[in-house]
Amino acid sequence: MSALTDRLDEIKAEERSALIGYLPVGYPSVAGSIRAMEVMVEAGVDIVEVGLPYSDPVLDGPTIQFAAEAALRGGTRVADVFPAVAASVAAGAPAVVMSYFNPMLQYGLERFGADLAAVGGSGVITPDLTPDAAGDWNIAASAHHLDQIYLVAPSSTQERLHLTVAATTGFVYAASLMGVTGERSSVGDAAERLVADTRAAGAPRVCVGLGVTTGKHAAKVAAYADGVIVGSALVRCLTENSDEEAGLEALRLKVAELAAGVRGNA
């Protein structure tokens, strides 16, 4: 068990779904991103997903790419993710890192795991790493008691679902649709089927991401998933407001809307 699984299980006992909020470290600055993560927790996010900016983000849509590119231009480095995790944990939310594999590999897998554990991080979501190719990371993560969070998609075969579930700890990340992250007008029915299939494969916790934009979307997904993951809709609050305080206020309002959704008050 970890702080992440403990929180998810506590929330399940409350008969609701968790709200998981993603923001990339370094946008609009490292300090500004940390403050934004603290605001998310204050406004109702249960778990923070700290994004590590990367130059080739194959899963990310234009909103997150824009913020990540700006963060990299501003000098954000891998090491900046750790104070962001520490601040999120101090604010009262378990924190996981979302990172593509190459930055972790360049930093050193053992070093990355040790440094993340040292600041209270719960685990890592690796969108471009499959369990069958993750031997070295699994060893490092297990050594530091970090959750290894892998993705399934509507295209995943039964064999792939069982493989992913067997290798995943914390929660399985169910991508609600094929494609990149981004805001959508609706969340399709494929997500609900995918959650059911992933649970049938043995997953105790399944959280859904990609496309959740509004409180109503969050409420719909919360009806069948253990967690609702929101990224682009939150990042957009910051990218569309050049004034940092205005961006934080927009973020606070959006999180409150989504939090009401997962609590059945949308």
Taking CA atoms, 198 is separated from 4, 70, 164, 194, in Å, by: 19, 36, 9, 6
Give residue 232's pLDDT.
93
Q: Are 164 and 172 in contact (CB under 8 A)?
A: yes
Whole-number pLDDT of residue 189: 76
Domain residue limits, the chain:
3-146+212-262
Q: CB within 8 A of 151, min separation 6: which ones?
A: 125, 127, 164, 172, 173, 174, 175
Q: At what angle do helices 30-43 and 244-262 cross, to 10 degrees?
A: 30
CA distance 238 to 215: 18
Assigned architecture for domain 3-146+212-262: Alpha-Beta Barrel (3.20)
pLDDT of residue 187: 55
What pLDDT, in 10s, does the model give residues 17-39? 999 999 999 999 999 999 999 99
The question of whether 60 is a catalytic residue gets the answer: yes
Residue 80 annotated in active site: no
pTM: 0.94
- Spatial neighbors of 166 by CB under 8 A, at least 6 apart, are 131, 202
- Which of 60, 147, 192, 197 does the annotation list as catalytic? 60
Residue 45 identity:
V
Q: What is the pLDDT of residue 181?
A: 46
Q: One of 46, 49, 80, 197 is an active-site residue; which one?
A: 49
Which of 129, 171, 179 is closest to 154 using CA atoms? 179
Residues of the chain under the 70 pLDDT cut: 177-188, 266
